[in-house]
Amino acid sequence: MLSYVLRRASQSVLVLLAVGLVAFSMFRFVGDPVENLLGQERTDADIERLREQLGLDDPFPIQYWEFLSRAAQGDLGISFRQGRLVADIFIERLPATLELAFVSAAFALLFGVLFGIYTSIRRKGILTNVILTGSLIGVSLPTFLIGILLIYIFAVELGWLPSFGRGDVVQVGWWSTGLLTESGLKALILPGLTLGLYQMTLIMRLVRSEMSEVLRQDYIRFARARGLSDRAIYFRHAIKNTLIPVITITGLQLGSIIAFAIITETVFQWPGVGLLFIDSVQFVDIPVMAAYLMMISVMFVVINFIVDMLYLAIDPRLRDGKTSFS
Amino acid sequence: MTGHLYRIWDSDLCWSFRQSPVAMVSACISIALVLCAILAPLIAPYNPFDPSTLNLMNGFSRPMEPNAFTGETFLLGTDDQGRDMFSTILYGMRISLFVGFMAVIFAMVLGVLLGLVAAYAGGRTDAIIMRIADVQLTFPAILVAILIFGIAKGFTPVHLRDQMAIWVLILSIGLSDWVQFARVARGAALVEIQKEYVEAAILIGRRPEIIIFRHILPNVVSPILVIATISLALAIILEATLSFLGVGAPPTQPSLGTLIRIGQSFFFSGEWWILFFPAVTLLMLALSVNLLGDWLRDALNPKLDD
């Protein structure tokens, strides 16, 4: 088991090193830094001297190592577009994205599980059909159209909720939160709904199929034969075995929520890292792109590692160390 | 010739097609839309990319209503620059479909090739290819596509960026999508390799590339076809999303996503048609291809996840 954990951990490190290499190559090979720094009137000696100063004549592995150690210390360079430290910009933007992601994940999990259980218990019924049809439409509509549709209904026609931005935010140390003001909470509803809808249908389908599977098992039949009430069967016996895969899938989905936030943030002009990333791609702001790439990969790799370890903790069959899964 | 046609008509696939109204309707819509896109220069009443035919006075004409200044009537209205929406949508669909098809073909060639090689070579080659695939699969396609687009954009010289945007888009969507093909091709090929005909081919000393492409490939086509159809719908949506985000087709060559992006700024001030019609076209396109893919999967019923 320990060997499995170690192998898995070394794989994660390898992936991060590879991503770091991509990020570093972007810095090193897109455009020539010397060309950008020196003016028209330069001599070959100037170029040579600057190359040496910047360490550009060092062997590639040494330059890469320098880059990694600087990145690990939080030095991610200076944004071409904003002329500020990339790390500062990210610290400023990250709370917005994380708040949005967690609110959507909570929404998706709560309603996904509720709807999933309901539709698997009541297999036929008006509400079940409404939920299932709604989820089918929700999956087929591209996220950005859902966002526009929601803005149209709730911001333009009804005028209940704001159509863009975060509303008023409160600073708690370096973290700026929109969760403490009324306008901040209102501004969170539409983007949270847009981002969470797809994940909600995903979780709902998963819960529905798992629950239907569990309800066909013998131990449920025996529980019925023993005369247990429906509530005890559903909520004490069935639900426990349903939720194991749900927990792990939701964990994995957290990463993709942060990635899909790019779309939601653009539609709602939400000042998070996703919007920052799209801007950086449009203006070829390499340091910001590289930093986003590294940040999101660390998140994904860590989440995947934790989820794999959770599997290990939950499912004893995997502990003999022979079974590998990917 | 008639016998040949009759055999196709009488095949299992055709039978299940005739049994499924959903498949027939979505096939009709898909084919009609593809034809419209191909024949856009013939069907479209205006050429939206020819500035000499544009009249700014025609801007913001409502659908089916004569324009207040010029008295001209446009079927689906015009945008802010007086471009006929119907023509713009036809041309936009052309770009959306072109990018979608090319990206899927690119992903298919790359993925099937790598998948078959992985299955046939086994061992270390297999491990390396599939590990890369696994790693890429943990990242959502949209993220991979945006990143590749950004990096490729950085490498393109500034004056070529708009011209190259379409090809960069195809590259980034294709590269974000090959994993599915590789996994399915590898899975199906592993089953085939166990069979006697492959063993026989190895025994009589045929070269590996002949065995892979002449013997194994034709037997793994049907699951790949299913993945390709579903991928096409996803690629169209992905292209629209990227273009909507402003990291896809440039305004000089607008796809349906670019049109929706443009329409979004007018939508909330009452000019709903500039956004509405491209959005509906995109939905019809994606939905009909998707339903066709679902039907194909059920009809061919290949074991997709082995």
Q: State which residue of chain B sits closest to A154, comparing Cα positions.
A: B268
Q: What CATH number is attached to the domain comprising A307?
A: 1.10.3720.10
Tokens of B152: 């490729």
pLDDT, position B181: 92
Per-residue pLDDT 10s for chain A (326 aa) are 778 788 888 888 888 888 888 888 877 776 666 666 666 667 777 777 777 776 666 777 787 888 788 877 777 777 777 778 888 888 888 888 888 988 998 898 899 888 888 888 887 788 888 888 887 777 778 888 888 888 888 887 787 887 777 777 777 777 777 777 777 788 888 898 888 888 888 888 888 888 888 888 888 888 888 888 888 888 777 877 777 777 777 777 787 888 888 989 988 888 888 889 888 888 878 888 888 888 888 888 888 888 888 777 776 666 655 444 43
Nearest to A281 among B134, B240, B247 (CB): B247
- The answer to whether position A3 is within a domain reads no
- Give the count of domains, chain A: 1
CA gap A295, A262 in Å, rounded: 14
**Are residues B146 and A296, on separate chains, in Cβ contact within 8 Å?**
no
**Are residues B149 and A281, on separate chains, in Cβ contact within 8 Å?**
yes
Q: State which residue of chain B sits closest to A156, comparing Cα positions.
A: B268
- The answer to whether position A7 is within a domain reads no
Give the gap in angstroms from C-alpha B60 to the nearest C-alpha of chain A: 19
- The answer to whether position A186 is within a domain reads yes
- The answer to whether position A25 is within a domain reads no
- The answer to whether position A219 is within a domain reads yes
| Three state DSSP letters for A203-228 | HHHHHHHHHHHHHCCHHHHHHHHCCC
**Are residues A156 and B264, on separate chains, in Cβ contact within 8 Å?**
no
Q: State which residue of chain A sits closest to B130, comparing Cα positions.
A: A326
- The answer to whether position A250 is within a domain reads yes
Which residues does chain B have within 8 Å of residue A26's beta carbon, measured at their own beta carbons? 151, 154
Give the gap in angstroms from C-alpha A284 to the nearest C-alpha of chain B: 6
pLDDT, position B195: 86
Which residues does chain B have within 8 Å of residue A325's beta carbon, measured at their own beta carbons? none
Neighbouring CB atoms inside 10 A of A109's CB total 20
Q: What angle do CA B69, B72, B75 make, to 5 degrees?
A: 130
Place of tokens 């591209």: A142
A282 in contact with chain B, both atoms CB, cutoff 8 A: yes
Q: Is A116 exposed, middle or buried (0-12, 13-18, 19+ CB in 10 A)?
A: buried
- The answer to whether position A103 is within a domain reads yes
Give the gap in angstroms from C-alpha A186 to the nearest C-alpha of chain B: 20
pLDDT, position A325: 43
A142 in contact with chain B, both atoms CB, cutoff 8 A: yes
Q: State which residue of chain B sits closest to A281, comparing Cα positions.
A: B150
Give the gap in angstroms from C-alpha B11 to the nearest C-alpha of chain A: 31
CA gap A281, A34 in Å, rounded: 22
Give the gap in angstroms from C-alpha B130 to the nearest C-alpha of chain A: 10
The residue among B135, B155, B255 with the most chain A CBs within 10 A of its CB, best to mutate, is: B135
Q: Number of CB pairs < 8 Å for A and B?
A: 94
**Are residues B153 and A259, on separate chains, in Cβ contact within 8 Å?**
no
Domain of A209, in residue numbers: 93-268+295-319
Place of tokens 């059920």: B298
Nearest to B246 among A30, A282, A293 (CB): A282
Tell me if A287 sits within 8 A of A79, measured CB to CB.
Answer: yes
Per-residue pLDDT 10s for chain B (306 aa) are 567 777 777 777 777 777 778 888 888 888 888 888 888 788 777 777 776 777 666 666 777 677 666 767 777 777 777 777 888 888 889 899 999 999 999 999 999 999 999 988 888 888 888 888 888 887 888 888 888 888 887 777 777 777 788 888 899 999 888 998 999 999 888 888 888 888 888 888 888 888 888 888 888 888 888 888 888 888 998 999 998 888 888 878 888 888 888 888 887 777 778 888 888 889 888 888 888 888 887 777 644 443
Tokens of B113: 């090739």
- The one-letter amino acid at A278: I
pLDDT, position A318: 61
- The answer to whether position A65 is within a domain reads no
pLDDT, position B99: 92
Which residues does chain B have within 8 Å of residue A326's beta carbon, measured at their own beta carbons? 130-131, 134
For the residues of A278-290, what is the DSSP string, one character each? HHHHHTT-HHHHH
**Are residues B150 and A289, on separate chains, in Cβ contact within 8 Å?**
yes
